[in-house]
Amino acid sequence: MITKFIKRILRRDPMERHTYANHTGAPKRVPKKSHRIDPHLLSKNAVKVTHTLQQAGYEAFIVGGAVRDLALGIGPKDFDVATNATPEQVQKLFRKARLIGRRFQIVHVTFFGKGAPEIIEVSTFRALLDNAGDHVAESGRILRDNVWGTQHEDAARRDFSINAMYYDPATETVLDYHGGMADMQKKTLRMIGDPAKRYREDPIRMLRAIRFAAKTGFTLDAATREPIAKLGNLIHDVPSARLFDEILKLLMSGYSWAAIQGLRDAGLHHGLLPLLDHILDTKTESKGANDFVRLALANTDQRIQSGKSVSAGFLFATLLWPDLLKNWQQNIAKGMSNIPALHDAMDDTIATQSSGMTIQRRFESDMREIWSMQPRFEKRVGRYPYRLLESPRFRAGYDFMLLRCATGEQNPALGEWWTKFIAADPAGQEALMTAAKTDNQGGLGNPQAAAKRRRRRKPKIATPTEGAAS
């Protein structure tokens, strides 16, 4: 009996103690000298929240991505708190606290300070029941009772080991349930439990895997990576709005180019954005498009990494531009005139995109505005330049045009002209317009002229511009 037991222990896979279903052990308590989290990177408000909850007798920790980022030495962009207090109990403790969500209620605690208000998201430890809500009848009460769980269960529900660590600012201790610290040292992204099962439960986790790998530079553990090739198609079962949110996070991660390469390597890009299909599949054929998108993404990454804002409309306008340009050129070849050809192409591009992942309306109107401004940059006489300058989205349209110049798809002289025009005084502006009359090479930027120019000269990657400002 004893020998059988010993044999079984020896046969055990060393990873088994981390597995989803079997894991029942206590967490590893990681002291400050091992995790080296710098308390200066903590949000004072998040600490206030854990402190207030702990003073009221509850358990409370900073959790999830914030702990991962802190352990990496990065200042988290937002802070989540997990507690054993119920949402109602949490709400009673804070002045500005709002209950959010129906099935799984969480509390948003808002703090007003000098800058933008900070929201700390407080969630109650959740139970391990898969799709807990579905197990329960209509009654809200039963539902709620079933949803809350222990901290240990809450940890097992999370996606990656490095996202399942709990930090207590009071003791500066990390509770590590799934070997997250060891994975951090190994620079490994590892799904908690059986990865295939976890991806089936929620296919978005495949995209999260790619995003976090790009952001942290970590490698996906083999067992975490392998099922993605087979299960990738499940992504299309995810409701479009959720998929859109996740793709937006991926593009706005500050590591979008790396993440898109990751999507391609994992075969996950199909049907998400048409441009990813053409560009990532046929590298040489769409060299110009590839250059444009690469530059746009490098530009976005640079802005995000240096803490600047990026508009999602601008970003999607760049991602769909190669597709739009192709449609525009085709319409012109069919005999349509420039502007109607552009508008028709915009409709086509958006319709094709919507068959994959629908881009939210509010971004769609920004995209249309940026696109339809493009031919207007070529009209450099009379009132036209002044009117363009007054458009509310001028800056975005101008930045977009500069990106086109940087890849040689638009004549760089046009970008230079506008840069001077914006800075010039009224007399200088008049002089620039007079000069434009003579240097106007007839459709400086129309797609046919641009296509000819592209054939003549090799597009080059220039330094990312200061684009994308909203």
Q: Which of 69, 80, 154, 183 is catalytic?
A: 80
* Amino acid code (one letter) for 174: V
DSSP bridge pairs for 312: none
Q: Are 174 and 181 in contact (CB under 8 A)?
A: yes
Of 33-41, 157-165, 286-294, 440-448, which segment contacts ligand ATP by CB under 6 A? 157-165
Q: Are 295 and 407 in contact (CB under 8 A)?
A: yes
Distance of alpha carbon 6 from alpha carbon 8, whole angstroms: 5
| Interaction of residue 158 with ligand ATP, rule CB under 6 A | yes
| Interaction of residue 80 with ligand ATP, rule CB under 6 A | yes
| Interaction of residue 269 with ligand ATP, rule CB under 6 A | no
- Least distance to ligand ATP, CB of residue 164, Å: 6
Active site residue 265: no
Active site residue 80: yes
Q: Among candidates 251, 226, 224, 252, which has minimal Cα distance to 162? A: 224
CA 156 to the chain's CA centroid: 24
Name which position in 65, 193, 274, 447 contacts Mg ion (CB under 5 A): 65
Q: 158 touches which of ligand ATP, Mg ion, none (CB within 5 to 8 A by kind)?
A: ligand ATP
| Interaction of residue 408 with Mg ion, rule CB under 5 A | no
DSSP secondary-structure letter at 83? E
Q: Which of 13, 38, 69, 78 is catalytic?
A: 78
Q: Which of 69, 154, 159, 291 is catalytic?
A: 159
Decide whether 129 or 248 has the Cβ nearer to Mg ion: 248
| Interaction of residue 277 with ligand ATP, rule CB under 6 A | no
Decide whether 64 or 169 has the Cβ nearer to ligand ATP: 64
Q: At what angle do helices 287-305 and 312-333 cross, to 10 degrees?
A: 160
Taking the alpha carbons of 123, 127, 133, 138 in that order, is the dihedral positive or negative?
negative
**What does the block give as tokens for 448?**
């046919």
| Interaction of residue 204 with ligand ATP, rule CB under 6 A | yes
| Interaction of residue 65 with ligand ATP, rule CB under 6 A | yes
DSSP secondary-structure letter at 160? B
**Strand residues in 214-333 grouped as ranges (E):** 219-220
Distance of alpha carbon 130 from alpha carbon 157, whole angstroms: 8
Q: Are 167 and 199 in contact (CB under 8 A)?
A: no
Place of tokens 């358990």: 59
Decide whether 65 or 254 has the Cβ nearer to Mg ion: 65
| Interaction of residue 254 with ligand ATP, rule CB under 6 A | no
- Least distance to ligand ATP, CB of residue 302, Å: 19
Of 132-140, 197-205, 228-236, 380-388, which segment contacts ligand ATP by CB under 6 A? 197-205
- Least distance to ligand ATP, CB of residue 202, Å: 5
Q: At what angle do helices 412-423 and 426-439 cross, to 10 degrees?
A: 160
Q: 202 touches which of Mg ion, ligand ATP, none (CB within 5 to 8 A by kind)?
A: ligand ATP
**What does the block give as tokens for 409?**
């798809």
- Least distance to ligand ATP, CB of residue 215, Å: 7
Distance of alpha carbon 354 from alpha carbon 335, whole angstroms: 27
Decide whether 65 or 203 has the Cβ nearer to Mg ion: 65
Of 139-147, 156-164, 322-330, 458-466, which segment contacts ligand ATP by CB under 6 A? 156-164
Name which position in 50, 163, 327, 331 contacts ligand ATP (CB under 6 A): 163
Taking the alpha carbons of 20, 23, 28, 34 in that order, is the dihedral positive or negative?
negative
| DSSP per-residue codes, 259-292 | HHHHHHHTT--TTT-HHHHHHHH-TTTTHHHHHH
Active site residue 347: no
Name which position in 27, 64, 322, 397 contacts ligand ATP (CB under 6 A): 64
CA 204 to the chain's CA centroid: 12
Decide whether 100 or 389 has the Cβ nearer to Mg ion: 100
* Residue nearest ligand ATP by beta-carbon distance: 65
Taking the alpha carbons of 241, 124, 153, 183 in that order, is the dihedral positive or negative?
positive
Size of the site for ligand ATP (CB under 6 A): 11
Interface ranges with ligand ATP (CB under 6 A): 64-65, 80, 158-159, 163-164, 202, 204-205, 249
Residues designated as active site: 78, 80, 159
Interface ranges with Mg ion (CB under 5 A): 65
